[in-house]
């Protein structure tokens, strides 16, 4: 699903990523770990095709993101679900409208959008919140809406940057469990997180980054 | 959330998908316009004023030029003689002149009769002037030059040549005032074109600036949409529909105002035409002019919005700072 070979990315005279080789199979759950500045967000930005690598090759589902033409980027992004540290909901649109957006973009008929939105909200524990506006939600609720938006259109790949950073431990575990459920039906999930303890509770693999290098890759034990 | 398979996407493809996206964009535009009713009305009013001014001037010029077409425009030279009849030998010579197309001789008595008829016989002034004390009027030869001799320089040369003939009291080149009027109208037409150009630019820039501001204001939302896979067209469509709405509203206002203006001015023009014993020429269709204003408003608003949209989207990555984390 994801293949990185000798990937490098520089910002000015600083190497954000250096010689990263990585292969992640379809339907895998992956936790990107490491201290701040290790290169986690840079790696996610490369996988979102927001930037091009300065060296090496980034390939997702056979698509070389380094050479992906700008006009083809939207079509690629429609197959990806992104969860941001700040959920970036459209402030003047209801929860329903925010969640319907990826469905609209992915070409789902309007008639089929409602059930999917309601199902996604139910999965993040926000059933009945369709008509609410983002400012009327708590921080945790907004984050859950952001996660629901990333999953509502059943993307092939979900990229999440500190998705549980604003959530309490119980909710964080629920959200991670949600990601795992999606992984179990074939979605590839990559989550950047500082929360090693939380990641340890799920089966998947940990990818340790440090100073822009991939320094370790190890399986995690479910509830071990 | 069972089907389709991950990453497969929805079932809408091609035209159906395009139509769904347009419906979505229309809804978005309607929602924004509804939230800013007063702002939308003011923008439409500004557009209408900017378009109405040159359109109204254009109509006045079209009407003037249209009516001018009814007036005699072939230049003529009047040569006056002190004798009761223009010299017959001279007439024979002039008929053979290579620059003269036609001649019309009028005796002194015929001139006097014409003058009396023009004054009318019922006024004290006409009775006094047309009496025995009235000085004799000159006889006149009205010369119509050939078309190739109707330029200002050739006319002047021909008039000078004719004025040198023995017995000629003087010459008068007719229609100089028509030329002056046509010159003046020509000047005003050029001013109007310039004016129209400037106000067109104003409309395009106004809508462009508004669209640019609206896009910049919504940059964070647009960035999110982009991350969700929105194409440039999808991002821009609501703003284009919004601009089209401004154009339609402003254009309709301008077109209706133009029709109202024309119908209020027509009686005055009719009176003027009657005073000169001329039919009132329509000067093109008012409805067509109104439709043209509407079409211009829509086109200029669309172009302004499209230009601003492409400007913002072309600089999108530079304008949007990365969010925390991503």
* CA distance linking residue A200 with residue A211, whole number of Å: 23
Among candidates A151, A152, A173, which has minimal Cα distance to A164? A173
**Lowest-confidence range among A8-12, A43-47, A213-217, B145-149?**
B145-149
Mean pLDDT score, A45-61: 92
Instruction: Give the pairing of strands A29-33 and A188-192.
Output: parallel
Mean pLDDT score, A76-104: 90
pLDDT above 90: residue B251: yes
Task: Give strand ranges (E) for B46-202.
Answer: 77-81, 100-106, 139-145, 168-173
Most confident of B25-39, B42-56, B246-260: B246-260
User: Which chain B residues touch A if contact means CB-CB below 8 Å?
Assistant: 1, 4-13, 17, 20-21, 23-24, 220-221, 223-231, 234, 322-326
pLDDT of residue B4: 44
pLDDT of residue A115: 93
pTM, rounded to two decimals: 0.71
Q: How open is the CA angle B318-B321-B325, to the nearest 5 degrees?
A: 140
Contact B5 A157 (CB under 8 A): no
| CA B43 to each of CA A97, B83, B247: distance values in angstroms, whole numbers, following the listed order | 28, 72, 9
Mean pLDDT score, A43-47: 93
pLDDT of residue B310: 92
Structure tokens belonging to residue B98? 């290579």
Mean pLDDT score, B306-312: 91
CB nearest to B9's CB, from A78, A85, A185: A78
* CA distance linking residue B91 with residue B97, whole number of Å: 10
pLDDT of residue B125: 60
pLDDT in tens, A143-190: 889 989 998 988 889 999 888 876 778 878 888 888 888 888 888 999
A65 in B contact zone (CB under 8 Å): no
pLDDT of residue B2: 41
pLDDT of residue A117: 95
Contact A107 B324 (CB under 8 A): no
Q: List A199's β-bridge partners, or say none.
A: none
Query: DSSP string spanning B169-197?
Result: EEEEETTHHHHHHHHHHHHHHHHHHHHHH
Q: What is the largest CA-CA distance in chain A?
A: 51
Contacts of A41 in chain B (CB under 8 A): 325-326
> By the 8 A CB rule, do A145 and A123 touch?
no
The ipTM value here is: 0.86
B-proximal residues of A, 70-99, CB under 8 Å: 71, 74-80, 82, 84-86, 88-91
> By the 8 A CB rule, do B70 and B279 touch?
yes
pLDDT above 80: residue B124: no
Q: Is A54 exposed, middle or buried (0-12, 13-18, 19+ CB in 10 A)?
A: middle
Contact A161 B325 (CB under 8 A): yes
| CA B11 to each of CA A109, A161, A193, B81: distance values in angstroms, whole numbers, following the listed order | 7, 30, 35, 95
> By the 8 A CB rule, do A168 and A139 touch?
no
pLDDT of residue A130: 92
Q: Where are the domains of chain B?
A: 16-70+179-319, 77-174
pLDDT above 50: residue B65: yes
Assign 3-class secondary structure to chain A.
Answer: CEEEEEEEEEECCEEEEEEEEEEECCCCEEEEECCCCCCHHHHHHHHCCCCCCCEEEEEECCEECCCCCHHHHHHHHCCEEEECCCCCCCCCCCHHHHHHHHHHHHCCCHHHHHHHHHHHHHHCCCCCCCCCCHHHCCHHHHHHHHHHHHHCCCCCEEEEECCCCCCCHHHHHHHHHHHHHHHHCCCEEEEECCCHHHHHCCCEEEEEEECCEEEEEEEECCCC
Residues 6+ apart with CB under 8 A from A197: none
Tally of CB atoms within 10 A around A128:
10
pLDDT above 70: residue A220: yes
Second CATH level (architecture) for the domain B77-174:
2-Layer Sandwich (3.30)
pLDDT in tens, A186-198: 889 999 988 888 8
Contacts of A90 in chain B (CB under 8 A): 221, 224
| CA A90 to each of CA A72, A99, A146, B229: distance values in angstroms, whole numbers, following the listed order | 24, 10, 10, 15
Q: Using CA atoms in the order B197, B199, B200, B204, what is the torsion angle rounded to 10 degrees?
A: 140
Among candidates A151, A146, A92, A143, which has minimal Cα distance to A119? A151
Residues 6+ apart with CB under 8 A from A100: A113, A117
Token pair 């500190």 in the structure block, residue: A162
């Amino acid at each position: 699903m994801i293949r990185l070979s000798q990937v490098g990315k520089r910002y000015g005279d600083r190497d954000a990523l250096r010689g990263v080789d990585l292969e992640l199979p379809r339907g895998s759950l992956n936790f990107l770990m490491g201290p701040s500045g290790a290169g986690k967000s840079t790696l996610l930005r490369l996988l979102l095709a927001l930037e091009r690598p300065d060296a090496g090759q980034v390939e997702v589902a056979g698509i070389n993101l380094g050479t992906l033409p700008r006009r083809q980027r939207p079509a690629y992004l429609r197959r990806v679900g992104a969860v941001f540290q700040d959920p970036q909901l459209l402030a003047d649109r209801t929860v329903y409208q925010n969640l319907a957006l990826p469905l609209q973009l992915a070409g789902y008929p309007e008639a089929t959008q409602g059930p999917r939105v309601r199902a996604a909200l139910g999965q993040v524990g926000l059933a009945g919140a369709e008509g609410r506006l983002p400012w009327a939600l708590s921080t945790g609720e907004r984050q859950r809406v952001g996660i629901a938006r990333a999953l509502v259109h059943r993307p092939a790949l979900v990229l999440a940057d500190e998705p549980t950073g604003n959530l309490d431990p119980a909710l964080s575990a629920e959200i991670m469990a949600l990601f795992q459920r999606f992984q179990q039906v074939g979605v590839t999930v990559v989550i950047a997180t500082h929360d090693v303890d939380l990641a340890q509770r799920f089966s998947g693999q940990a990818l340790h980054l440090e100073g822009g290098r991939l320094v370790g890759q190890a399986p995690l034990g479910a509830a071990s | 959330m069972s089907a389709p398979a991950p990453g497969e996407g929805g079932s809408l493809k091609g035209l159906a998908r395009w139509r769904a996206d347009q419906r979505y964009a229309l809804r978005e535009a309607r929602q924004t316009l509804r939230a800013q009713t007063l702002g939308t009305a003011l923008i439409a009013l500004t557009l209408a004023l900017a378009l109405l001014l040159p359109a109204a001037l254009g109509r006045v010029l079209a009407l003037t030029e249209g009516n001018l077409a009814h007036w005699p425009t072939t230049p003529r030279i009047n040569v006056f003689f002190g004798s009761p009849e223009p010299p017959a030998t001279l007439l024979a010579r002039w008929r053979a002149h290579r620059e003269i197309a036609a001649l019309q001789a009028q005796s002194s008595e015929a001139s006097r009769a014409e003058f009396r008829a023009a004054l009318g016989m019922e006024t004290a002034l006409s009775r006094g002037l047309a009496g025995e004390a009235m000085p004799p009027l000159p006889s006149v030869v009205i010369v119509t030059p050939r078309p190739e001799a109707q330029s200002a320089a050739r006319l002047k040369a021909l008039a000078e040549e004719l004025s040198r003939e023995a017995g000629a009291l003087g010459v008068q080149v007719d229609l100089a005032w028509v030329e002056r009027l046509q010159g003046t109208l020509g000047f005003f037409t050029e001013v109007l074109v310039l004016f129209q150009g400037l106000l067109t630019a104003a409309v395009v820039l106004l809508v462009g600036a508004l669209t640019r501001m609206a896009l910049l204001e919504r940059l964070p939302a647009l960035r999110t949409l982009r991350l969700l896979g929105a194409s440039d067209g999808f991002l821009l469509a609501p703003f284009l529909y919004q601009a089209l709405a401004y154009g339609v509203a402003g254009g309709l206002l301008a077109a209706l105002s133009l029709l109202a203006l024309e119908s209020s001015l027509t009686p005055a023009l009719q009176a003027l035409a009657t005073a000169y014993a001329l039919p009132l020429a329509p000067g093109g269709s008012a409805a067509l002019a109104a439709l043209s204003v509407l079409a211009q408003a829509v086109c200029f608003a669309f172009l302004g919005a499209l230009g601003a949209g492409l400007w913002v989207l072309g600089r999108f990555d530079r304008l949007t700072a990365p969010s925390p984390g991503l």
